[in-house]
Structure 1
Amino acid sequence: MSRHWWLALQVARRLWFRATLYAVIAAITAVLGIALGRFIPDSLSDVIGTKAVDAILTIIASSMLTVTTFSLSTLVSATSAAATSGTPRAISLLLQDRTAQSALSTFLGAFLFSLVGLIALNTGLYGGGGRVVLFAVTLAVVALIVVMLLRWIDHLAGLGQVSETIRRVADATEPPLTALAGRPYLGAVGWATPPDTATAVLADDAGFIRHLDIARLQAMAEALDLTFYVRVRPGDYCWLGQPIAYVDAPKGLGEPDEDNLGEIKQVFTIGPQRSYDQDPLFGLTVLSEIASRALSPGINDPGTANDVTVQAARLMTRLGQAFVERRRLEIEGAEEAADFKRVHLMPITTTELMEAAYLPIARDGAGMIEVVTTMLQALYGLTQVGDAELADCARRMGETVTARAREGLPHDMDRERLDAILEKLSGPELHPLR
């Protein structure tokens, strides 16, 4: 995805964007009745009644503003609850919730529609035919409000709950994680050491890499006969003046060099917060943060940590399956070639993914045998997916979990249970653990 489309997508996800869009459509719809009214016979207005539309619009106008304010307060309370019980890094996902945005936008749009309609009615802009059109549209708006209220009430049952927060983070993590198997370098080629003649591109700001426009780099490389060596990936932190890329230009960068280097820097979107879109490590890190908070002494909720462990195992299983499919295509010679062959990019290793998902839980849950049990089962399951690299990382993480558990479990009985679990998982026959 290009940088411009990515920025447009970030705007479209904002709460105000959909609300503004609905409000504009509602205002246009109310005014459109004036233009369409002349095609409707005025005699039909006698059937409806001259005051019917006024009464309905007055009710909508007086109630929808209150409903909108209440719904917005509910959303704020839900995000606060998610930040308290989960992690503040998940708030952006709740604010991007489509159902919540649609509900708020529908209520605000209905309020503005009724307000514009009342203004037009009281100023005499609607004739008899216009009132008929406005009445028909008003009935459609009432039906839309009822449907959205029912959806919103059902949606409120889970909004802000920690289980819902975990699900949303997992859903946001899965696309970039599974895409990592098919396009491990975002469509570019693997890292190679840049030549000594390559020019360093220095970061002009401090922060996280939020987005990387590889296609734009490839276009510049083809136009100017360049080769790029990108040292950072989305999610990496960079400091002011850090070399974030090197560019090899056999024919020179042209004049002036600063302009070309400035254009290259625009490919790297740097900001104070990480983004889920191209950064699977961020999603796994947020999941582990939720588990760590649940395992803190003040909350002491090992069940939530187990839920996170299972969700992370599900995501890593999908990744392992994608790895197996990619290697099958490599053997058959059907693997797709890199789209951006003039761009070299640092990889994300399976070890980094495994540590982001499980290392904090292994540290904070080492003293709880129920958390250790779930982690060992999940890690054992990852060794059975069929990918050798993933299996090796899971075994090493299992050794880490075991070592921390032996030090952290406070009672001999728990350590005996740990030995029993390890024996079952390493025996010739795996028995279901309860």
Structure 2
Amino acid sequence: MAQSKLFTLDKLRFAFGRINERLWVKPLLLCVLSIGGTFIAMLADTMGLSSVLPDITLASVESLLTIMASSMLVIATFAVGSMVAAYASASTGATPRSIPLVIADDVTQNALSAFIGAFIFSIVSLITLQNDMFDAAGRFAIFALTLLVFAIVIITFVRWVDRIARLGKVVNTIEKAEKAAGDALDRRRHAPSLGALTASPHQAANKGVPVCSSKVGYVQHIDLEALQACAEAHNCHVTVAVLPGTFAHTRLPLLHIDKDVEQCKAFETEAFSSAFTIGSSRTFEDDPRFGLLALSEIADKALSPGINDPGTAINVIGTLVRLFTLWQSPVEIDRLQAITYHRISVPELLIDDLFDDAFTAIARDGADMVEVSIRLQKALFALAGTDDSAMVAAARKHSRMALARSEIAMSLQDDIDAVRKTAEFSALPPITEPNAP
């Protein structure tokens, strides 16, 4: 029986992508390096350098390390408090879905790691010094390392102060969500079917014997390398029925195997379903729709009566236009992923789904605001001017829907006329023939 590989390159890539969302990883690494640096300094005593290096007094080194030990713990505690406040601000001011992006901020993680690492280094170095574990060369090495750590901490602190002032703010969160969505969209447009054959929506829904999930949650990642190995071992073809971001349950097929029922009875279907990573929440890396949804939620929250910030919604609409412009821009041939999984078919993302995630909530909750409605119509007009016939059709559809909502929600006829004038392009005849790729 074929078994799913425990480690594949795709699984490792996904696992490393999750590391940035764990606050303890980088501080742990810095703690290990700090302890290692103290004991590496002992090597200076074994190299016969005591006669050529300056003799640093024990009291001066201990004084520096004592200052560092007492100050770094306070600064680390202050850093944690500031980070928690920034996370709470991102959750209440933007959307809780943006928390992983804020946590993954490199400057903040590096600052916390540097502060904790410096504290551990100073404590370990003090203990070793007070127990006479260093000679003259070792004391000089510890002194030099202490000055280096001080310099790193000061530089890190200056950078971190600038970042913490903006971390958790809505504008900063929008930038992070745009980058996450843009990266995911860019990867997907260069690998529309993830390196497998392209499956039509009809194939994904109806072809072959279904294999369902044993877990309930969101599909976070699909290990196509492991799935290809299972298909080769059983000499079958697999059609993936769900993409990352889909909510899976025990009655929803993850994939279909191109065999009859009797043949599939002999299969170890757990090996197929284990290629799907299912968790309690969605992730940004392999799920472009989640990035668009997070941006839409930020705009939607700004339109709520309690916040009443149409400017943020208008900012998000501009961000969405940039992302859809990226999506329909020409692909780079040298980055286009070749089809390497010939026994797997994967459906492509549908532009209608992307537009639903991006614009539906904004059009619904901003329907009574003339400035938001007009900016939304202008954005959809810009997207309708592309050469992508599917995007043109989606833009016109959402323009008509947004206009209908505005006509119902607005009470002033002049506002309705202004929105209608901006939305005139949506009444044009639909495109019947798709453009050639």
**1:361-415, Cα deviation, whole Å (9 max, x unpaired):** 0000000011011111111111223222212211111111111111112212312
Match of 2:229? Answer: 219
Query: 1:353 aligns to what?
Result: 354
CA distance in 2, matches of 1:185, 1:423: 36
Shift of 1:248: 2.5
Question: 1:285-316 deviations in whole A, cap 9, x for unaligned?
Answer: 11111111110111100011111111111000
Q: Is the 8 A contact 1:294 1:302 kept in 2?
A: yes
Helix, strand or coil at the partner of 2:238: strand
> Which residues of structure 1 form unaligned runs of 5+?
428-434
The DSSP-based 3-state class of the residue aligned with 1:2 is helix
Match among 299, 304, 309 for residue 312 of structure 2: 304
Residues 59 and 402 from structure 1, CA distance in 2 versus in 1: closer, same or farther, beyond 3 angstroms? Answer: same
CA RMSD, Structure 1 to Structure 2 (Å): 2.5
2:34 is aligned with 1:26 = yes
Give SS of 1:244's match: strand
CA deviation after TM superposition for structure 1 residue 176, in Å: 1.7
The residue type equivalent to 1:341 in the other structure is H
Task: Tell me which residue corresponds to 1:402.
Answer: 403
Whether 2:170 is the aligned partner of 1:169: answer: no
| AA in 2 matched with 1:186 | L
Instruction: For residue 338 of structure 1, report the CA deviation from its aligned partner.
Output: 2.0
1:211 maps to a residue whose letter is: H
Corresponding letter in the other structure for 1:365: G
Which deviations, in whole Å up to 9, do the C-alpha atoms of 1:296-345 show, x marking residues without a partner? Answer: 111100011111111111000100114xx48xx7xxxx976422121112
2:214 matched to which residue of 1? 204
- Equivalents in 1 of 2:424, 2:397: separation in Å? 17
Q: Is the contact made by 1:37 and 1:133 (CA closer than 8 Å) also made in structure 2?
A: no
TM-score between the two structures when normalised by the length of structure 2: 0.89
Report SS of the residue matched to 1:373: helix
Letter in 2 for 1:247: I
**Structure 1, residues 180-225: CA drift from partner, whole Å, max 9, x if none?**
2222211112225389994321210111101111122122222331
Mark the CA change 1:318 to 1:9 in structure 2 (over 3 Å): closer, same or farther.
closer
In structure 1, the residue matched to 2:154 is: 146
In structure 1, which of residues 84, 93, 106 is the aligned counterpart of residue 92 of structure 2? Answer: 84
1:186 matched residue in structure 2: 194
Q: What one-letter code is carried by the residue in structure 2 that aligns with 1:73?
A: G
Report the more deviating stretch, 380-389 or 186-195.
Answer: 186-195
Matched, 1:70 2:78: yes
For 1:42 and 1:277, locate their aligned partners in 2 and report how far apart those are by CA, in whole Å. Answer: 53
Equivalent residue number for residue 132 of structure 1: 140
Map 1:222-371 to 2 at 5 A: 222-249=232-259, 257=267, 260-322=268-330, 325=331, 337-371=338-372
Question: Structure 2 CA distance, aligned partners of 1:115 and 1:394?
Answer: 61
CA contact (8 A) 1:44 1:128 kept: no
CA contact (8 A) 2:397 2:426 kept: no
Alignment deviations for residues 252-300 of structure 1 (CA, whole Å, 9 cap, x no partner): 879963xx21111110111110111111111111111111111011110
Any conservation in 2 of the 1:40–1:130 contact (CA below 8 Å)?
no
1:46 Cα shift? 5.6
Q: Which whole-Å CA distance do the structure 2 matches of 1:187 and 1:119 have between them?
A: 55
Contact 1:172 1:283 in 2 (8 A): yes
**In 1, Cα distance between equivalents of 2:340 and 2:29:** 36
CA positional deviation for 1:39: 2.2
> Helix, strand or coil: the match of 1:126?
coil
Q: Given residue 112 of structure 2, which amino acid in structure 1 is its aligned partner?
A: L
Please, which runs of 5 or more residues in structure 2 have no aligned partner?
1-8, 429-437
Amino acid in the other structure paired with 2:382: G
Q: Distance in 2 between matches of 1:170 and 1:120?
A: 48
Structure 2 partner of 1:386: 387
Q: Is the 8 A contact 2:197 2:344 kept in 1?
A: yes
Separation in 1, partners of 2:366, 2:106: 34
Report if the CA contact (8 A) 1:26-1:109 is conserved: yes
Q: What does residue 415 of structure 1 align with?
A: 416
How far did 1:114 drift?
A: 0.5
Deviates most, 363-372 or 394-403: 394-403
CA pair 59-177 structure 1, distance change in 2 beyond 3 A: same
In 2, Cα distance between the equivalents of 1:200 and 1:68? 52
Report SS of the residue matched to 1:341: strand
CA contact (8 A) 2:403 2:420 kept: no
Q: Distance in 2 between matches of 1:32 and 1:224?
A: 53
Change (3 A) 1:196 1:153: closer
CA–CA distance in structure 1, aligned partners of residues 47 and 400 of structure 2: 78
For residues 155-187 of structure 1, the C-alpha deviation after alignment (integer angstroms, 9 at most, x for no partner) is: 112111001111111111112212222222111
